[in-house]
Amino acid sequence: MDTLLELKKKIEGASARVVFPEGENESVILAASRIVQEEIARPILLGRKSVIEELAAGLTVDLDKIAVLDITSSPKLDEYVSVYGKDRNLPLGAARLILRKPVYFGAMMTRMGDADAMVAGIATPTEEVAMASELIIGTQGDISTPSSFTLMDIPGYKGEEGSQLIFADAALNPNPTSEQLADIAISCARSARKYFGWEPRIAFLSFSTKGSAMHADVEKVVEAVRIVRERQPDLLVDGELQADAAIVPEVAKKKIEESSAVGGRANILVFPDLDAGNIGYKLVQRLTHGAAYGPFLQGFAKPVSDLSRGATVDDIVGAAILVVIEAQLHENTSH
């Protein structure tokens, strides 16, 4: 929670509008109440008004400053259907069926400027949140692969950023290519800077360090490093590195012969595939009793965050804080 408190200090007023497609979820309603009380944002809950009002009454939540929107009666639905139908070359009936799904409608609200950000996923698979966001909101100009990162806060670990590390991608891309790994790394660098003010030091992880093993999986990682250096020569990146060579200075000195600004000092760990990333962060979280914030989606043209199915109220509030910070950056750069 200390991390969330620090992030919350970056929020300038509570003007950002955050849409929650799963507005009939009790945890989302409780989170929306806290978001209002703590002056983080202006929440918009999608769902049946009568259902949300009944749930809110049972939770003793005041809906006065929380917008509730029933998709079926929204005056914007016809406009959204027309725009989406033209975008995807779909009959209007098919477009309407898709946009009546809350996560697609929420994404359309964000794209059209009727919301500044979207937080979803507590009752929707990550794949669907990402698909709706990619189809409707789109990706950043130079990023073709949306991805996710998890902020790890690890008791007893002392690194470049104290007890914190970024792990990616642990939620979205099962078997990324070299080009996709490069996108993940570049997106992580941007996230690290804008959310946490870090100078990114990116380690591409592998079971090999600098040629200690030969395999196609190692070559994929080596190629990803080359692509990032070509696209973003200012970034500090290295690989392929084993995990200990990435975060333990003494091991890095033994395993990396040439000078490395990343070896032993990485603050961003890019895993070679979803198996490694997901297993890695859950093992660290459970074995160290650490905190895992996220997964947070990145690479989209507008702010979107995913929630795990087991997300707590704190998790939802944390996701809202991050998308609000990003929404502020969007607004500042567009003026």
Q: CA 137 to CA 140: how far, in whole Å?
A: 9
Q: CA 68 to CA 20: how far, in whole Å?
A: 10
Task: Using the structure block, give the residue that is written with the tokens 């809950």.
Answer: 45
pLDDT at 331: 67
Q: CA 52 to CA 134: how far, in whole Å?
A: 28
Question: Mind listing the domains of the chain with CATH numbers?
Answer: 2-138+302-329 (3.40.50.10950), 147-291 (3.40.50.10750)
pLDDT at 335: 47
Task: Using the structure block, give the residue that is written with the tokens 């917008």.
Answer: 67
The total of other beta-carbon atoms located within 10 Å of residue 331's CB is: 13
The total of other beta-carbon atoms located within 10 Å of residue 328's CB is: 20
pLDDT at 4: 76
pLDDT at 1: 54
Q: Which residues contact 164 (CB under 8 A, 6 or more apart)?
A: 3, 151, 152, 153, 154, 196, 267
pLDDT at 334: 52
CA of 156: how far to CAs of 3, 290, 291, in Å? 16, 9, 12
Question: End-to-end CA distance of the chain, in Å?
Answer: 32
In a 3-state reduction of DSSP, which class is residue 202?
strand
Helix axis angle for 178-191 and 216-231, nearest 10°, is 50
pLDDT at 282: 92
| Burial grade of 258 (CB within 10 A; 0-12, 13-18, 19 or more) | exposed
pLDDT at 333: 54
User: What residues are paired with 148 via a beta bridge?
Assistant: 297
Strand order in the sheet with 42-46: 67-69, 42-46, 17-20, 117-120, 304-306
pLDDT tens across the length of the chain (335 residues): 577 778 888 888 888 999 999 999 999 999 999 999 999 999 999 999 999 999 999 999 999 999 999 999 999 999 999 999 999 999 999 999 999 999 999 999 999 999 999 999 999 998 899 999 999 999 888 899 999 999 999 999 999 999 999 999 998 899 999 999 999 999 999 999 988 999 999 999 999 999 888 899 999 999 999 999 999 999 999 989 999 999 999 999 999 988 899 999 999 999 999 999 999 999 999 999 988 887 888 999 999 998 888 889 988 998 999 899 989 877 655 54
CA of 325: how far to CAs of 7, 39, 52, 109, in Å? 8, 13, 27, 18
Task: Using the structure block, give the residue that is written with the tokens 């592998």.
Answer: 206
In a 3-state reduction of DSSP, which class is residue 21?
coil
What DSSP letter does each residue of 209-265 carry, written as one string?
STTSS--HHHHHHHHHHHHHHHH-TTSEEEEEE-HHHHH-HHHHHHH--S--SSTTT
pLDDT at 209: 93
